[in-house]
Structure formats: C-alpha cells, structure tokens
Amino acid sequence: MFLQYERFQTVSPAIRDLLLQADPEWSQVMTYLPQSTGVALSWHHELVGVLVLTERPQRVLEVTNLAVLPEKQRHGIGQAAIHFAQQWGSEHGQTTLRVATGSTSLGPLYLYQKCGLRIVAVEPDYFTQRYSLPIWENGIQLRDRLVLTQALSPENQGS
C-alpha cells in the first residue's frame, strides 16, 4: 500500500470527523491540535485517515490522534501511520514515541503493540475525570488511559 502523507493546517469537515472518531470531544482535540503537526493520510488521492504528532519535553514524540475511516481499517493504514511517526520522530531528534489510549480500545491497543510499543503506565479514571459524557467502547465504559512507549532508533523503524 502506498499512502501519501500531507501536512494539514486547516481542519476540513472530513478531517474534523476523523479527529472526532479518535477523540470524541472537540474541546479535548483543541488542547493539543494547535501545537501539533497534523498529517492527512491519503490513498489514491482519497482521505483515509489522520495522524497528529505532538512534540513533548525530553525528546518525546506523542501520537495524540490517529484515526482511519472505518471502511479502510484493517488494511495496514494504521500500521503505516505508526511507522511514519517512528521515522518522523527519529528524523526530528526525538528519542521516544508515546501513545496514550483507552483501556477499552482493543483495536488500537493491538495495533500499537504490534508496532513495538509497550504499556508503561495506567492513568486511572482519566476519561471519567476529563470528558463531559461517558464513553462506551466494546460494551464497556471507558475509564482508564494506558500509556505506551517505544525507544526510537534506526533499528526499530519498520518493526
């Protein structure tokens, strides 16, 4: 699969819909989007996903949003996006890739671990304290956030 990666600075309705697919409250998206690098993922000139990268202190690059159109999921787009983030981080002097996701987000958890990230922390009640409405995934109320990291080096790009 050959994806095109293009930085976006203007949030079109289609990009907004994708961002909200991964993070359901726009006010939460706006806490990180203005200081981040947004990347539109296209396949055959069709928008299929978004990736938002945020540089954190201590040379940590965080994937703060990753969403793929539901009908395009399970085709390698998410994995390609993580590999792009790994390469982008290494090229920009970052030493760690970080992702935080919901404990009930089974698909994303599988993806991140398949790409080499490992769970390093649990933030209890993160979602119940920060979001105005309950979030339900896979029949379970989302409460806790899991933090996954991976050291960035030339050896692990593409793992």
Q: Write down the pTM of the prediction.
A: 0.92
DSSP states of 123-151: ETTHHHHH-SS--EETTEE---EEEEEEE
Cβ–Cβ under 8 Å, residues 100 and 123: yes
Cβ–Cβ under 8 Å, residues 43 and 6: no
* pLDDT of amino acid 12: 96
pLDDT tens across 46-92, in order? Answer: 999 999 999 999 999 999 999 999 999 999 999 999 999 999 999 99
Question: What residues contact residue 136 under an 8 Å CB cut-off, 6+ apart?
Answer: 142
pLDDT tens across 132-159, in order? Answer: 999 999 999 999 999 999 999 855 444 4
* pLDDT of amino acid 157: 43
Q: Residue 22 in 3-state DSSP? A: helix
Region 122-126: mean pLDDT is: 97
